[in-house]
Amino acid sequence: MNDAAGVCRRRATCRLCDSGDLSLVLSLTPTPPANAFVTVDALDT
């Protein structure tokens, strides 16, 4: 599976109470999906 669109999506409401009053509590750096890491040889440096 190379298409991440079906695997993850952004939510605008709480899954528990369906409230739209959300706050960012942890900002994560984007990372490649598992088994999709680029090797050093494949990098354009």
4 pLDDT exceeds 60?
no
CA distance 18 to 12: 9
**Mean pLDDT of the residues in the chain:** 81
- φ/ψ (deg, to 5) at 33: -65, 160
CB contact set of 20 (below 8 Å; sequence gap of 6+): 12, 13, 14
Q: Which residue has the tokens 């999906």?
A: 33
1 pLDDT exceeds 50?
no
Length of the chain: 45
The 10s digit of each residue's pLDDT in 6-22 is 677 888 999 999 999 99
The number of angstroms, rounded, from the C-alpha of 22 to the middle of its chain's C-alpha atoms is 17
